[in-house]
Amino acid sequence: MSRRPSPPTWEEFARELGHNLKRARQARGLSQERVAFAAGISGFTYQKFEKGESRPGAPMNPRLTTLVALSQVLEVSIVDLLPTSLPDATAGR
Protein backbone atom coordinates (compact mmCIF):
# COMPACT_ATOMS: atom_id res chain seq x y z
CA MET A 1 0.00 0.00 0.00
CA SER A 2 1.52 3.32 -0.99
CA ARG A 3 1.29 6.38 1.18
CA ARG A 4 0.45 9.76 -0.20
CA PRO A 5 3.24 12.23 0.31
CA SER A 6 2.60 14.57 3.17
CA PRO A 7 1.78 18.17 2.25
CA PRO A 8 4.67 20.60 2.43
CA THR A 9 5.14 22.76 5.48
CA TRP A 10 4.50 26.50 5.17
CA GLU A 11 8.27 27.00 5.23
CA GLU A 12 8.74 24.62 2.27
CA PHE A 13 5.83 26.22 0.41
CA ALA A 14 7.28 29.72 0.93
CA ARG A 15 10.76 28.60 -0.11
CA GLU A 16 9.43 27.12 -3.37
CA LEU A 17 7.40 30.28 -4.03
CA GLY A 18 10.62 32.23 -3.56
CA HIS A 19 12.45 30.00 -6.04
CA ASN A 20 9.62 30.50 -8.54
CA LEU A 21 9.89 34.28 -8.14
CA LYS A 22 13.63 34.13 -8.71
CA ARG A 23 13.29 31.94 -11.82
CA ALA A 24 10.64 34.22 -13.31
CA ARG A 25 12.73 37.32 -12.57
CA GLN A 26 15.86 35.84 -14.10
CA ALA A 27 13.92 34.67 -17.17
CA ARG A 28 12.90 38.31 -17.73
CA GLY A 29 16.44 39.56 -17.14
CA LEU A 30 15.38 41.89 -14.33
CA SER A 31 17.21 42.86 -11.16
CA GLN A 32 15.64 42.35 -7.75
CA GLU A 33 15.56 46.11 -7.27
CA ARG A 34 13.73 46.71 -10.55
CA VAL A 35 11.09 44.08 -9.77
CA ALA A 36 10.60 45.45 -6.26
CA PHE A 37 10.24 49.04 -7.46
CA ALA A 38 7.81 48.10 -10.23
CA ALA A 39 5.72 46.03 -7.78
CA GLY A 40 5.66 48.79 -5.18
CA ILE A 41 7.62 47.00 -2.46
CA SER A 42 11.06 47.57 -0.98
CA GLY A 43 14.11 45.88 -2.42
CA PHE A 44 14.82 44.34 0.99
CA THR A 45 11.33 42.84 1.14
CA TYR A 46 11.69 41.36 -2.34
CA GLN A 47 15.11 39.90 -1.48
CA LYS A 48 13.53 38.19 1.51
CA PHE A 49 10.67 36.91 -0.67
CA GLU A 50 13.13 35.17 -3.00
CA LYS A 51 14.49 33.40 0.10
CA GLY A 52 10.95 32.46 1.15
CA GLU A 53 11.14 34.60 4.29
CA SER A 54 9.47 37.66 5.70
CA ARG A 55 11.78 37.93 8.69
CA PRO A 56 14.40 35.49 9.99
CA GLY A 57 12.78 32.19 10.83
CA ALA A 58 9.34 33.12 9.49
CA PRO A 59 8.01 32.04 6.10
CA MET A 60 6.90 34.80 3.77
CA ASN A 61 3.22 35.61 3.68
CA PRO A 62 2.72 38.27 0.99
CA ARG A 63 -0.57 40.05 0.48
CA LEU A 64 -2.64 39.06 -2.51
CA THR A 65 -2.14 42.55 -3.98
CA THR A 66 1.63 42.05 -3.75
CA LEU A 67 1.42 38.67 -5.52
CA VAL A 68 -0.72 40.20 -8.26
CA ALA A 69 1.74 43.09 -8.69
CA LEU A 70 4.70 40.69 -8.85
CA SER A 71 2.98 38.45 -11.39
CA GLN A 72 2.24 41.49 -13.56
CA VAL A 73 5.81 42.79 -13.35
CA LEU A 74 7.21 39.33 -14.12
CA GLU A 75 4.58 38.73 -16.82
CA VAL A 76 3.52 35.36 -15.44
CA SER A 77 0.27 34.18 -13.91
CA ILE A 78 -0.03 33.86 -10.15
CA VAL A 79 -0.57 30.14 -10.68
CA ASP A 80 2.88 29.93 -12.29
CA LEU A 81 4.41 31.45 -9.15
CA LEU A 82 2.65 29.18 -6.67
CA PRO A 83 4.07 25.77 -5.78
CA THR A 84 2.14 22.79 -7.10
CA SER A 85 1.57 21.25 -3.65
CA LEU A 86 -0.35 23.24 -1.08
CA PRO A 87 0.54 23.14 2.61
CA ASP A 88 -1.83 21.84 5.24
CA ALA A 89 -3.89 24.92 6.10
CA THR A 90 -4.47 23.68 9.65
CA ALA A 91 -0.80 23.00 10.45
CA GLY A 92 0.77 25.37 12.93
CA ARG A 93 -2.50 26.70 14.35
Measure the CA–CA gap between 93 and 88, rounded to whole angstroms.
10
Q: Tell me what pLDDT residue 71 has.
A: 98
Do 49 and 60 touch, CB atoms closer than 8 A? yes
Instruction: State the fold for domain 10-81.
Output: 434 Repressor (Amino-terminal Domain) (1.10.260)
**Segment 25-41, tens digit of pLDDT:** 999 999 999 999 999 99
Residue ranges of the domains in the chain?
A: 10-81
Q: Tell me what pLDDT residue 89 has.
A: 66
**Segment 7-21, tens digit of pLDDT:** 788 999 999 999 999
Measure the CA–CA gap between 72 and 93, rounded to whole angstroms.
32
pTM of the predicted model, to two decimals? Answer: 0.85
